[in-house]
Structure 1
Amino acid sequence: MPQAGTPFLYVVVCAAGVAADVGTLITAARERGWEVGAIATPVAMNGFFDSAAVETLTGRPVRSAWRTPGEPRPFPPPDAVVAAPATFNTLNKWAAGLADTLAVATLCEASGLGVPVAALPCVADALAAHPAYRDSLARLRAMGVRFGEPYSGEDPAAFPWEQALDLVTARRRTLP
Structure 2
Amino acid sequence: MTKRVLYLIACAAGPTEYVDESVRQAQARGWDTCLILTPSAARWWEPRLAELEELTGHRVRSQYKLPGDQDALPKADAMLVAPLSCTSLNKWGNGIADTVALGLVSEGVHLGVPVVAMPYFNQAQASQPAVARSIADLRAQGVLYLDGPDGYKSHPPKQGNPQKYPWHLALDGVGAIAGLTL
Partner of 1:55: 53
What's the secondary structure of 1:43's corresponding residue? helix
In 2, Cα distance between equivalents of 1:155 and 1:48: 19
In 2, Cα distance between equivalents of 1:156 and 1:58: 21
Is 1:156 aligned to 2:162, yes or no? yes
Is 1:26 aligned to 2:23, yes or no? yes
Aligned residues: 171
Question: Unpaired segments of 5 or more residues in structure 2?
Answer: none
Identity over aligned pairs, percent: 39
CA RMSD of aligned residues (A): 1.6
Q: Map Cα deviations across residues 52-77 of structure 1 (whole Å, 9 max, x no partner).
A: 32212101111011112222211111
- With normalisation by structure 1, the TM-score equals 0.90
Deviation at residue 154 of structure 1 after TM alignment: 3.5
Instruction: List structure 1 segments (4+ residues) > 3 angstroms apart after TM superposition.
Output: 151-154
What's the secondary structure of 2:74's corresponding residue? coil
Is 1:10 aligned to 2:7, yes or no? yes
In 2, Cα distance between equivalents of 1:173 and 1:37: 19
Partner of 1:124: 122
Bigger shift: 63-72 or 27-36? 63-72
Q: Pick from 90, 93, 106: which aligns with 2:91?
A: 93
- Contact 1:15-1:48 within 8 A present in 2 as well: no
Q: Pick from 25, 37, 42: which aligns with 1:40?
A: 37
